[in-house]
Structure 1
């Protein structure tokens, strides 16, 4: 009986720890998104011999709705990525085609950057598609952080085999993320910096995504503006609106 009680206590402790880790991920996710968000973002793709800059505007509502519009450069202006729950569309104005993106495309590069399609449109949910567990406490840029491991649930269709996040204990900001493939090999590392008030909350204003096996390559995402909790109707996030957003 004593062994059974100890095993039960151990099992309940694991469940409680997992729930606490998930709650921390939820707080960080909700802080970064709000009920809605409207952002203008500069994205710099940096390579050993060249650099390319892009400006986008992004609207989000909860975890199910997002709309990304490319504003510059002129060659890509008007390109749109639309997400509704688990469905993602890509409007390409140069050929006037609206393409529904299959799950297999989520792991591919987003417009030649080091971010994947999944990173930008968030088809996978870091809350619902993964199991969460604490690893240890760490210090990132002089901030005390939780290091939390995310492992995909058995039936989840996700890009990554493992994700490790470092989240600030005080302000619940995601400061450092490592992305691994199914074999446990590190593929990408994202580091967040330039912490400042964006909208009405303290958040990193800069994110750098660095691939592990491509020396000299990285993509830098910089928030120019970020507004939270502006009312957005669900009807804004539809395929009929995909050619009209500005």
Structure 2
């Protein structure tokens, strides 16, 4: 009889852990999707700050989920007209000044995007925080005055990622993604992301200022600010084509 009771208790504990894992995964997914929507059209400004200089890039972006995105550079004049396209696991860059289409290989997804502290992967999100990682609730902490869950993300075995782990802080009530830390294979902190300036954007309240900060560089960061944005708009997959890269304005 005791063995039966013990077996039932073990099964219940196992089920409880499984349910918690699903809930944490859903929390990460919803916080991530809150920033993207099922589809979106956005205006962004990106300011790259260094110790002795800074520069700002203005851009437009369209996306469907995690698989399709297109970004058009509005300014500065030197880069104006450049377009970046992502379809599933492939990415291209159209450079109108030399009329050249460049396919960006997976090996370059972690390279700096336009000299910023964001990578190609950060901008087009080749990897999925929900699908490519396991999730574990570590603690409850405060960030920027919000009560948050601190969540550990560990990549699955075949995930196309380079981070050995990510820590995320998501507000408990609002599901705002407020901070993330990225660690390399040696479990050394490489960079961290701070999301702030929460405002109403279209139909949702969300952070509108993203700062990506290298852990080992002083006086260096990149600031991405949301401008006018529409979520869940009608967009077709055919919009995200190599041909459209040359036509988009």
Q: Could you say which TM-score interval applies, normalised by the shorter chain?
A: over 0.9
Give the Cα–Cα distance (whole angstroms) in 2 for the partners of residues 196 and 64 of structure 1. Answer: 26
Give the Cα–Cα distance (whole angstroms) in 2 for the partners of residues 123 and 160 of structure 1. Answer: 13
Give the Cα–Cα distance (whole angstroms) in 2 for the partners of residues 129 and 88 of structure 1. Answer: 19
Give the structure 2 partner of residue 41 of structure 1.
44
Which of 165, 179, 185 is equivalent to 2:168? 165
Question: Matches of residues 92-131 of structure 1 in structure 2 within 5 Å?
Answer: 92-131=95-134
Give the Cα–Cα distance (whole angstroms) in 2 for the partners of residues 104 and 8 of structure 1. Answer: 43
Q: Measure how far apart 1:4 and its partner are.
A: 4.6
Q: Measure how far apart 1:3 and its partner are.
A: 5.3
Quick one: structure 1 residues 166 and 224, their matched pair in 2 at CA, closer, same or farther if it must change by over 3 Å? Answer: same
Give yes or no for contact 1:88–1:123 (8 Å, CA) kept in 2: no
Question: Matches of residues 206-221 of structure 1 in structure 2 within 5 Å?
Answer: 206-221=209-224
- Superposed CA RMSD in Å reads 1.3
What is the DSSP-based 3-state SS (H/G/I as helix, E as strand, rest coil) of the residue aligned with 2:117?
A: coil
Give the Cα–Cα distance (whole angstroms) in 2 for the partners of residues 100 and 14 of structure 1. Answer: 43
Q: Is 1:194 aligned to 2:197, yes or no?
A: yes
Give the Cα–Cα distance (whole angstroms) in 1 for the partners of residues 95 and 169 of structure 2. Answer: 36
Q: Is 1:63 aligned to 2:69, yes or no?
A: no
- Please give the per-residue CA displacement for 1:5-25, whole angstroms capped at 9, x wherever unaligned: 454444333322211111101
User: Can you give the 5+ residue segments of structure 1 that lack an aligned partner in the other structure?
Assistant: none
Give yes or no for contact 1:106–1:159 (8 Å, CA) kept in 2: no
Q: Is 1:203 aligned to 2:206, yes or no?
A: yes
User: Can you give the 5+ residue segments of structure 2 that lack an aligned partner in the other structure?
Assistant: none
Give the Cα–Cα distance (whole angstroms) in 2 for the partners of residues 207 and 115 of structure 1. Answer: 10
Give the Cα–Cα distance (whole angstroms) in 2 for the partners of residues 171 and 245 of structure 1. Answer: 35
Instruction: With the length of structure 2 as denominator, give the TM-score of the two structures.
Output: 0.95
Give the structure 2 partner of residue 30 of structure 1.
33
- Please give the per-residue CA displacement for 1:93-140, whole angstroms capped at 9, x wherever unaligned: 222221221111111111100011100010001111111111111111
Instruction: With the length of structure 1 as denominator, give the TM-score of the two structures.
Output: 0.96
Q: Measure how far apart 1:222 and its partner are.
A: 0.8
Give the Cα–Cα distance (whole angstroms) in 2 for the partners of residues 196 and 50 of structure 1. Answer: 29
Quick one: structure 1 residues 167 and 231, their matched pair in 2 at CA, closer, same or farther if it must change by over 3 Å? Answer: same
Single out whichever of 215-224 and 1-10 deviates more from structure 2. Answer: 1-10
Give the Cα–Cα distance (whole angstroms) in 2 for the partners of residues 146 and 95 of structure 1. Answer: 48
Single out whichever of 224-233 and 117-126 deviates more from structure 2. Answer: 224-233
Report the count of equivalent residues.
246
Larger Cα-atom Rg:
2
Q: Measure how far apart 1:229 and its partner are.
A: 1.6
Give the structure 1 partner of residue 157 of structure 2.
154
